[in-house]
Amino acid sequence: MTGPSQSPAHPFAQRSGASAFYNRLFTGFVWFVGICVIVFILGLLFLLLQKGLPKLTWDFLYGLPSEIEEGGGIGPALFNSFYVLFLSLVISIPLGLAAGIYLAEFAPDNKWIGLVRICVEGLSSVPSIIFGLFGIALFVEMFQVGLTILGGAVSLAFLNLPVLTRVTEESIRAVPVEMKNASFALGSTHLQTIRRVLIPVALNGIITGICLVAGRAFGESAVIILTAGVTTSGSMWDFNLFSPGETLAVHLWYVQSEAIVPDAREIAQKATAVLIFVVLLINVIFRVPLWLNNRKTKL
Amino acid sequence: MLDLHPSGQASAAAELGSSLRTGSGPSFDRKARLRVFNSAFKIACIAAAAFVCLILLSILFFMFRTGVLTFQDVSFREFFLSTDWDPENDRYGALLFIFGTFALTGLTLLFSVPFSVIIAIFLAEMTPAWLRNLLRPVLDLLVGIPSVVYGFLGMTLLVPLLRDLTGHELADGLLAASIVLTIMVLPTISRISDDAITAVPKKYRDASYALGSNRLQTIVRVVLPAAGRGIMYAVILGMARAIGETMAVVMVIGNTAQIADSLFKPTAVLTSNIVMQISSVEFDSTWNYALYMMGFLLLVISLLMIVVMRFLQRKGGGHA
């Protein structure tokens, strides 16, 4: 069952001429481009990590940023990043899961639900800056709370909701119908089936979705600039929801383009390395156990 | 074993049942409780789904209501057809940003689509399994790299490089921005195209090989046309990302309100202009309304692309 090109004993395989030449040329070309592009992108990221990671110190990660002098840290920005990420996930995960479960399990198949699906899909393609503008209109203009961590977290949660909804719906739909029927046959109610059968089986997909969303929220900057501002409260461990909430991604942009500190470049390099490192970490920590689990169940 | 005390057991069960149903204390009717939980859960789910829709509708409403106020002071024609953006002197011509957005997206697609399709072919058709299993998660990880990192990359590496190569004083502009965006959308487009190519049934390939075609002919004449719709879908998704991308673009495009008649001229696009100016203007000013109108335009463009995407999907579903 191998391709004809792999059996040289076959008389037809020994064709020479233009098409065979083009074929070989094409194969070589695709290999070349594929390897080059992937090596290029990975090389860039490696370069960024290599420039920043060795210079990292605890003082930098913990320290307060400085506006004028050298040696400022990223402590509050880093803390805000995790805080905003946590808050936005707390808001968006329950809502996203519930909406996804509704679309997968309860929703009747009619025009209204079609409209809801279009809404979810449409919302997931809305550019992030629109959520920022919406956040301004909502929090700064309507509720008059100004640029706050709360506003940033809620806007981020709105940004993440549609993605979570779709991921949940898709992974619950992917659960084999036999499992569902078996659960119903054992006498469980719909809620019990969802809780004990559908969600555990779909958990793999849902967690992948959550970690996708978390990585995106951690690195998101446009929404945060508009809704949480470009300053921090200036102290560590500030849990106040109404203090300004500059995150690490915003700080990176701010330092590189607006700040006047003399070591801006170095701060930016180190902040970039931290940013990439954390995003990779979020992905790896969540995915490796799932991946191992998958292999185990398959073998 | 089973019938030790048949009568006694039956009466006990009956007693237990009746005590459960009519017993003193809080009612413990399991069925009713389950029913309540079930319907409460269902209502919560419906509320969540409705909430998601509500967000989209209220975004549309807010953006439109604020944006449309622009036309109190600015004529429709000026906003869409003039390239003169000078809000300090009450001139609000947004054409240059609209043009910038489309030019940037077009350039990005021009660079990224060929590379992405080649990488997708590479992943789906040519690599050995071990390399494929290694590269796919790596590309998935690349999708998650924050956009501001790509912007930083472009600002510190690409722009100086372009400056040296071309000899321009300022290399910020459409070319730099589109290269950065290309690197950004490449993993997205190639992974989804890769999935589309992998989903082409093996029998198509077998049939093509059986007719005597080689790999190039099979890929170009059979596999790519069969995966065409999926690749289109990937391209539109990448396009949506390119149109809406803000921070990576802000850092390399130069942010100057002039129309880009050259690839190396600092210019601005809808997103970058919004983010640079929104924080410095009053909410109740024409300037701010104009920025919201630009946001509304972005929103309409991205929703239009969803309509196109759904159309493609429905056609694809009917075909298969």
Residues B75-87 pLDDT 10s: 777 778 777 788 7
Tokens of B217: 């002919």
Closest CA to B175 of B258, B118, B260: B260
Q: Between chains, do A191 and B38 touch, taking CB under 8 Å as contact?
A: yes
A212 touches chain B (CB under 8 A): yes
Closest A-chain CA to B271: A129
A12 and B CB contact within 8 Å: yes
Q: What is the ipTM of this complex?
A: 0.81
Question: Average pLDDT, stretch B97-103?
Answer: 88
Cα–Cα distance, A207 to A214 (Å, whole number): 10
Contacts of B252 (CB under 8 A, 6+ apart): B151, B154, B155, B158, B159, B172, B176, B177, B180
Lowest mean pLDDT among A8-12, A113-117, B229-233, B274-278: A8-12
- Statement: residue A71 has pLDDT above 70: no
Task: Give the Å distances, CA to CA, from A144 to A140, A148, B85.
Answer: 5, 11, 30
The whole-number average pLDDT for the span A119-131 is: 87
Q: Shortest CA distance to A157 belongs to which of A84, A98, A230, A212?
A: A84
Give the pLDDT confidence score for residue A13 in this predicted structure.
Answer: 53
Question: Is the separation of the CB atoms in A120 and B52 below 8 Å?
Answer: yes
Q: Residues A183-213: pLDDT tens digits?
A: 989 988 888 888 888 888 888 888 888 888 8
Tokens at residue A168, please?
A: 């949940």
| H/E run at residue A251 | helix A248-257
Length in residues, chain B = 320
Number of H helices, E strands in chain A: 12, 0
Taking an 8 Å cut-off on Cβ atoms, the answer to whether A280 and B216 are in contact is no
A49 touches chain B (CB under 8 A): no
Q: Identify any residues that bridge with A183 across adjacent strands, giving them in sequence order.
A: none
B197: nearest Cα among B130, B107, B136? B136
pLDDT band, very low/low/confident/very high, at A4 (cuts 50, 70, 90): very low
**Inter-axis angle of helices B270-277 and A128-135, nearest 10:** 30
Query: Considering the entire predicted model, what is its pTM?
Result: 0.82
Determine the distance in angstroms separating the CA of B56 from the nearest CA of chain A, rounded to an integer.
Answer: 6
What is the predicted pLDDT for the residue at B319?
43
Write down the residue that tokens 């998704």 correspond to. B237
Q: Which pLDDT score, from 0 to 100, does residue A299 have?
A: 47
**Which residues of A are less than 8 Å from B221 in CB distance?**
none
Residue B2 in this model has a pLDDT that exceeds 60: no
Nearest Cβ partner for A125 among B183, B214, B240? B240
* Percent of chain B with pLDDT strictly greater than 90: 10
Statement: residue B24 has pLDDT above 60 = no
Q: In which residue are the tokens 């990671």 written?
A: A53
Interval A61-67 mean pLDDT: 71
pLDDT at B287 over 80: yes
Alpha helices in chain B (DSSP H): 6-22, 30-68, 70-73, 76-81, 95-121, 129-143, 147-153, 159-166, 174-198, 202-210, 215-217, 224-226, 228-244, 247-253, 270-277, 286-319
A191 and B149 within 8 Å at the Cβ level: the answer is no
CA distance A253 to chain B (A): 7
Cβ within 8 Å of residue B232, ≥6 positions away:
B312
Q: Which residue bears the tokens 């950065």?
A: B180
Please give the average per-residue pLDDT across A112-131, as a whole number: 86
Give the model's pLDDT for residue B112.
92
Of A61-70, B81-90, B246-255, give the range with the top mean pLDDT: B246-255
CA distance B145 to chain A (A): 7
Q: Indicate yes or no: CB of A99 within 8 angstroms of CB of B42.
A: no
| Alpha carbon distance B96, B81 (integer Å) | 9
